Amino acid sequence: MPMKDQLEKLLEAGKDNALLRFSLGELLFKDGDHARAAEHLAEAVAHDPDYSAAWKLYGKALIENGDLIAGIDVLEHGITVAEARGDNQAVREMQVFAKRARKRLDEQDA
């Protein structure tokens, strides 16, 4: 049974937690299902608001799904979380993703 199916069965069985939601979101993101990935990643950060990696992937999923403004907002919040945790690598990555999204947004407005 594929990993995504295994994780969905755990979720259906009531084993809901941040890591499970992050893992599902990550698999869906890799499969190109950015909308569903964003849903699971939103749940991941709801379970654990200090989960830097989940904030980063959540923002990327929103951006890839075409919601640039929400993606930028999520990344900015994630940067604040990562800074508070001392997660400097995540801070740098989210800053780059947010900068690229802002550039895309500016290009759309032009």
Q: Which CATH code is given to the segment(s) 3-109?
A: 1.25.40.10
pLDDT tens for each residue of 51-83:
999 999 999 999 999 999 999 999 999 999 999
How many CA atoms within 13 Å lie on the side-chain side of 19? Answer: 2
DSSP H helices, the chain, are 3-12, 18-30, 34-47, 52-64, 68-85, 88-109
Q: Residue 100 has what pLDDT?
A: 97
pLDDT tens for each residue of 6-18:
888 988 888 999 9
How many CA atoms within 13 Å lie on the side-chain side of 13? Answer: 8
Q: Where are the domains of the chain?
A: 3-109
Q: Residue 29 has what pLDDT?
A: 98
